[in-house]
Chains A and B, each alone.
Chain A
C-alpha cells in the first residue's frame, strides 16, 4: 500500500517542479531584460532630442541662427524670430530667481541650521513639500485672481499702464513655485557641513550668525548655487502659470511690467492653431531650444551637487 501511494505521489511532485521551472526564465535572459529596460530609457531621451531636431528642420533651414535674434514673430507673413520670447523667458525667470532667493535661502538656513529636527522643522518641511505638489494651473489661477489685481494697484501707484498681467506678475508666481526646489537642495547641502568645522568656530567664540556667515555659507556655497541653478531650470520651462498671467503679447517687452510671452507660453498659446509646416516647425524649434537649455542647466546643477557630496 505504501508502495502504491509513493507511485501516485511522485509524478505529481515532479510535474510541480517542472511547472516552477517553467515559470522562471533563465538568468541570462532576465539580465538581458533588465539591460533592455535601462537602454530603452537612454533611447527614449535620444529619440526625444532627434524628434525635436527633425521636426524643426524647416525652421532651422529657413532662419538658421537668426531665429533667435529675429525681432518679429508674424505668422501671417511667415516671419518667425524668437528674440522677444527669449527676452521674456530670461526676464521672468531671473526676476523670479532673485525674488525667490530672498525666501529660499532663509528657509535653507532655517531647516539646515536653526531647526534641524523637531515639530517646527517637520511642519515647515511638509508645507514646503505641499507647495511643490500644487499643480501649476492652480498657481496660475491663483495668480490671475489674487496677484493680478494687486499688481494692477501697484502699477497705478507707480504710474505705469495698469494692466495687471505682465512679466512682473509672472515672476511673482514663478518665485513662489520655485521656492521648494531651491530651498530643499540648500537645506541638504547646509546639513552636509561637517559639525567639527562649526564647533571649532563656536569654540573660538563665534556667534551663530558668524558661524553661518563665515563657515556654513562659504562651505555650502557651490551646493546652494546648484540648487538655484536647478530652480532656474524649472522656471525656464514652466508653462501654465506663466501663460495665464503674462499677458501673451508677441512684442519685445520694454519694461518689467509690460506684457510678454515666454518660449513655453507661446508654444502653449499658438501650437494648436499653428497652420503651415513652417509655423509648426518654428514652435517646435522653440521647444528644442528649451530642451537644450534646461538639459545643460540640469546636468551642471547635478554635477555640482554630486561633486559636493562625494568630497565629504
Chain B
C-alpha cells in the first residue's frame, strides 16, 4: 500500500515538474522577441523625427541626415512587386480553388510550395540573371521582380484558401440566374473572398518589405531620391544592413532609427492584417 502511494506521489510530482518546465521554456522562447523590440525602441525612437524621415543621407563625418531615399525606395519596390505578383497570384489562386483535383493544379500547388521554400538569396540571383545582366545595370525594376517572385506564393495560397471557403450555394445561385461563369467568378466568388485575398496581399507586403538578401545585387541601393525604375534604388533593409555593418557609430544610430521605422511598418501591417481577417471574415 505504502509503496503504491509513494509511486503515485512520485508520478504526480513528475507531472507537475514537467508542466512547470514546459511553461518556463515556452515563456523563455518569447523573451528574444521582447529583447529585440526593447533594444530597437530604446535606441531607435530618439532618432526618429521629421528631419530623419524627410532628408537624404549625408556623407560620412557630417551629422544628421535622414533616410527619405530608403523609405521612398521601399514603397517603390513594394509597388513594383505588387504589379508583378498580385494579378498573376490571384488568377493562379482562383485556378487552384476551381480545379482542385486536376493534374495541372497538383503541379501548380507543388511549384508554389517549392517556390515558397527557395532561399531569398537565390531569388536575388535569379533576378540578377534575368533582369540585371541583360539590361547591364542594377535597377529598381530587378528588385521589384525579385520581391514579386517572393510575394507570389503568399498571395496564391491566401487566395486559394479563402475561395475554398466560399460555399457552392453562392456559385450555384449565380449560375442559376443565368450569370456566365467568368462573371460568377469575378463578381460573386472573388468579392466574397475579398478579405482573405486582401490579408494575403498585406502579409505578402509585410514579408517582402523586410527582405534584404534579394536586393543586394538587384536594387543595390542608392543615396539619391531615384525615380527611374531602370536605376538603382535604396530600401530600408538595405540601409539598415549597410549602416549596421559600417564602422561608424553615427551610422549605427541611423541604423537603429531605420530599424525602428521598418519594424513599426512590418508589425503594423501584421496587425492590420489581423484586423482585416477578423472584421471581414468569410462567414456563411
Contact = CB atoms under 8 A, between A and B. Distances in A.
Given A41-B112, A267-B125, A130 B270 contact: yes
B15 interface: yes
Interface string B116-137: 1111111101101110000000
Contact of B92 (A25, A41, A283): A41
A52 B97 CA distance: 31
B91 A298 contact: no
Interface in B177-197: 180-183, 185
A34 interface: yes
B255 interface: yes
A136 B211 CA distance: 7
Given A135-B263, A138-B259, A141-B240, A114 B210 contact: no
A191 interface: no
Nearest to B152: A41
Nearest 10 interchain pairs by C-beta: A237-B119, A135-B210, A37-B91, A103-B29, A298-B117, A106-B25, A207-B15, A30-B182, A239-B213, A38-B108
6 contacts: A37-B88, A40-B88, A51-B126, A141-B244, A145-B252, A295-B118
Interface of B: 11-12, 14-15, 18-19, 21-23, 25-26, 28-30, 32-33, 35-36, 39-40, 88, 91-92, 94-96, 98-99, 104-105, 107-108, 110-123, 125-126, 128-130, 149, 152, 156, 180-183, 185, 206-207, 209-213, 216-217, 220, 237, 240-241, 244-245, 252, 255, 259, 262-263, 266-267, 270
Interface of A: 24-27, 30-31, 33-35, 37-42, 44-45, 48, 51-52, 55, 102-104, 106-107, 109-111, 114, 124, 127-131, 133-142, 144-146, 176, 179, 183, 207-210, 212, 230, 233, 236-240, 244, 264, 267-268, 271-272, 283-284, 287, 290-291, 294-295, 297-299, 302
